[in-house]
Each structure stands twice: as C-alpha cells, then as structure tokens.
Amino acid sequence: MTRSVRRTRRTAQLAGAGAAALMALSGCSSSSGSSGSSGAKGSAGAPRLSGTVTVFAAASLKESFTTLGKEFEKRHPGTRVGFNFGGSDALAASITSGAPADVFAAASPKTMAIVTDAKEAAGTPATFVRNQLEIATAPGNPHEVASLKDLTEPGLKVVLCDKTVPCGAAAQKALDAGGLKLTPVSYEQDVKGALNKVELKEADAAVVYKTDVRAAGDKVEGVEFPEAAGAVNDYPIALLKNGENTEAAEAFIALVRSAEGQKVLTRAGFLKP
C-alpha cells in the first residue's frame, strides 16, 4: 500500500509538472504567435516600401510638399521622393507627353483634367487643399497698395501669372469680378516666378497665393482683397497610371491627405478642402 501510494503521488507530481510545462510552453507560443501575427499583419497592412516616388506638383506646393517628402522618407527608410515643381499646365503637358511620374498634384481641376482626359490618371483625383490669392508687395508696402483696384494705377509695375496657369486664371477671375482691367509688365509661367519679380524689386506688386506670401517671410508684404474670395482654387491630387512605384506613390498620397499632412498644409496657409 505504501509503495502504491508513493507511486500515485509520484504520478500526480509528474502530471502536475507536465501540465505546468505545457502551460508555460503554451504561454511562450501564444506570446510568440501574437508577436508574429502582429508582424505579419503589420507587413501586410503596411508593406515595406522602397525606391523613388516621382511627384509632379504645382509650384505653390514646393515648401509644404518638400516637408512632407522628408517626413515620408523618414517613415519609410529606403525610399526617396523626387519632385518636379512648376506651372500646373506645363506639368500636365509633360505627363501627357510621356514624362515619367507617379503622382500629380495640380493647382486647379482644369489642369488636372488635361491628365484625366488623356487617361493618364489611375482612379479619380481627390481635392486635398484649396488656395486663395493675395497681393504681394515690397516690404513696408511703399506704394500703399490697399486693394486690387490700386494695381491699375499708372506707373505701378505689376506682375501676373500667365492666364493658362491656375494662379493667372484665378487672378483674371478676380479682376473680372471687380470690373477691372490690368496690363502687367510681364506674365510669369508659375507663381514662384511672379513672386520672385517682387522679391528682386523688378516689380512693385504681384498677384500670387497666400501660401507664397507666407513662405516668402519678410521678403514681401501681403495685401488681402475681397475679390479673392470668389477665385479660390481647388487642388486635386492623383495617382498616375504609368508610374513606376505605385505602392509608394499611394502611400505618399495617403500622407498628403492624412491629418498629419493636412497640418503641414494648413500651417503653410492652405485652406481645407
């Protein structure tokens, strides 16, 4: 009986030890499995990106998109964002002529339509910000420009964007709304070119975007005018059909449209869509 009791106790002890071992192993497996599952889900939900994303973007997006490009590269080691900034119409023409690009961000739906009509966009473009015009003058506003009408004063050297460029089309719309006629000393191919004329003191004033006035800092002074409210431009962004890095391009567009991206754009002076 004594031997039987000892055998029973030994069997129970071994069983208890085995159960404990199984529980420990189960715990390790569960922990390991949870970690592996999380990793698998993470890689499936956010695949590792690499290579270059080529973005064609309106000149007025230069500062904010450059910031977002650096953030994207930081989030996705092994990627690079290459930009081509310029007049939206010229960029659209380049895309439809076969220039390699993954993403197009235009300063107006009209210029985006050049790309979509040519079947170069993959999916429907989405408006991600809006922008409003402002008059840029030399620091201190030496000519005391206070309204859009003041730009028609004789002897004042004013620069506009070309009418084919979104900022030029918006400026013309504002002038028409005010019943004003203006002959500029030059038409520039993008908004940065128009602003640069004022910065270099080659012009007394230019009609540009609020975002460009803000980006220029103390190099210029901004003057708001009421007609600008009726000439706000929507900015659409689209994935391009013939891009070479679709996954990374989609991720960049997602960043632009995310809450973090919108914060960067809002700080730059853009309006929410």
Each residue's pLDDT tens digit, 23-69? 333 333 333 332 222 233 333 455 689 999 999 999 999 999 999 99
* Residue appearing with tokens 């070309």: 162
Contact 168, 133 (CB under 8 A): no
| CA distance linking residue 175 with residue 171, whole number of Å | 6
Residue 130 in 3-state DSSP?
strand
pLDDT at residue number 46: 58
Confidence of residue 188 (pLDDT cuts 50, 70, 90): very high
What are the tokens at 181? Answer: 């006629």
Give me the amino acid identity at 253: I
| CA distance linking residue 23 with residue 17, whole number of Å | 10
Helices 109-117, 166-177: crossing angle, 10 deg rounding: 130
Q: What is the DSSP letter of 47?
A: P
Each residue's pLDDT tens digit, 124-151? 999 999 999 999 999 999 999 999 999 9
| CA distance linking residue 115 with residue 48, whole number of Å | 29
Each residue's pLDDT tens digit, 6-29? 333 444 443 443 443 333 333 333
Contact 191, 165 (CB under 8 A): yes
> How many helices, marked H, and strands, marked E, lie in the chain?
9, 10
Each residue's pLDDT tens digit, 162-174? 999 999 999 999 9
pLDDT at residue number 1: 43
Is the pLDDT at 108 greater than 70? The verdict is yes
205-209 and 133-137 beta bridge pairing? antiparallel
Laid out side by side, the sheet with 103-105 consists of: 79-86, 51-58, 103-105, 233-239, 126-131
pLDDT at residue number 47: 67
Question: What 3 state SS string does 184-249 have?
Answer: CCEEECCHHHHHHHHHCCCCCEEEEEHHHHHHHHHHCEEECCHHHHHCCEEEEEEEECCCCCHHHH
Each residue's pLDDT tens digit, 197-249? 999 999 999 999 999 999 999 999 999 999 999 999 999 999 999 999 999 99
The H or E element containing residue 131 is strand 126-131
Q: What is the mean pLDDT of the chain?
A: 87
Domains of the chain: 51-130+234-267 (3.40.190.10), 133-230 (3.40.190.120)
Mean pLDDT for 100-112 is 97
